[in-house]
Structure 1
């Protein structure tokens, strides 16, 4: 029965599991299959063509596993490949992009910060979104060089992470931002550390909750929400070591299965 088919989710590694958590919180009975393409992380330095080819590979894998909808839980893959994915496949495809619009609408200092990968910040979709919503607003874009590899290793608060993140947030604080937009699905795992570094008036925005709501809305609109309330099957596949995923999802260890597979 198609309603029981899984929600398919992929990312350039383990970071999109932050999106999975929001989806699972909102839709606790849905079966899910998550692909962590950690072998190819980060996508942020790759060309548009490489990012698109990897995204196609991941989508085809999820379709072959019988998924009913696909969530691209990667800002870089969304901003570079979503148009082609939607043009190629008939399955509903949900994307994720930096939450520039809410930050631009809410800012009172008229200064917002964006922390994202090079691949996201240099994409056409990012620039189109930014131009639409940030007139008369100063937008400080910082490439989070080196953050994704550390998160992939489960290093969320070590000295190397602290020093790197401090270097990126200092110019934002100096620019008097009042909203920090996280433009990579790995970065929500840094929120506890960011809260220690940022003045309390700076709000942090990520896209996870909005993606979960959009997924719910899309499934409801085509009558594909799972009707059963039996425990769901929550599968995670990585083409690298399983430790980082297991560490980030330790609160769900009783419910999920994490396997290493080649894909």
Structure 2
């Protein structure tokens, strides 16, 4: 496979740009295609079968458009579809959930909180995987039904956003020393989270970028060119809201976003 091919990154909407940013910082010469399934967001309210169908379409789209590796930059999709996609994909797949577990430093905390979509939290995957690695680490999980849709629609447009956020976070005991962001949308509101939660905030994006590097290296697919890679953006729904929020977070202008129906 051509090393110049793209890294495909996808999410249910905006959240995956938090992972995209970390990948582009670590691997600036890699070409990246980002797909935000803004037409079908949020995934957290869908069934596993529905999520798998949506994810398979996206993977086929990314592979057809010259991707050499695909990142599931969505916790819900990683839990619902990683194993399925891993079996059918002709190229390597990286899921955010393994990176999230690896972002928890060893032997550092006794108790941590986890916030994510209802699907992610109800799956029980995070406590299960954390327990496999550290049976003494106690976890508290809270499903945050309203956060992802609010972030997609424009977080700052909701006057009660901090009240809603505080209601979720304060369900986690004060004894929790760290908070794991088990949804890639949440770093988009990181400052508000830091104002409410007093402990450490664990964002898996950086660890996911390192996993992408390791996977590309192991498959001999790292781009060897010295020039800066290009980034293309595709969405399935509204382009304007995505463009505004993505530009604010990434810190640069996105000249063109393609809307596709897959």
Do the two structures share a fold, i.e. TM-score over 0.5? yes
What is the CA deviation profile of residues 60-106 of structure 1, one whole-angstrom value per residue up to 9, with x for unaligned ones? 11011110100000111111111111111230000011734554734
Is residue 2:44 matched to residue 1:47? no
What is the CA deviation profile of residues 177-236 of structure 1, one whole-angstrom value per residue up to 9, with x for unaligned ones? 11000001111111111111222xx00001101110011111122221112223322101
Partner of 1:229: 226
Matches within 5 A, 1:42-121: 42-97=42-97, 99-100=100-101, 102-103=103-104, 105-108=106-109, 110-121=110-121
Matches within 5 A, 1:125-204: 125-156=125-156, 158-172=158-172, 174-199=173-198, 202-204=199-201
Gaps of 5+ in 1: none
Gaps of 5+ in 2: none
Question: Aligned-pair distance for 1:17?
Answer: 0.7
RMSD, aligned CA: 2.0
Residues 122, 143 of structure 2: 8 Å contact kept:
no
Residues 33, 232 of structure 2: 8 Å contact kept:
yes
Classify the secondary structure of the residue corresponding to 1:155: helix
The size of the alignment, in residue pairs, is 259
- Separation in structure 2 between the aligned mates of residue 177 and residue 244 of structure 1, nearest angstrom: 35
Change (3 A) 1:101 1:219: closer
Classify the secondary structure of the residue corresponding to 1:33: strand
Change (3 A) 1:41 1:254: closer
- Separation in structure 2 between the aligned mates of residue 113 and residue 157 of structure 1, nearest angstrom: 27
TM-score by length of 1: 0.91
Residues 104, 137 of structure 1: 8 Å contact kept:
no
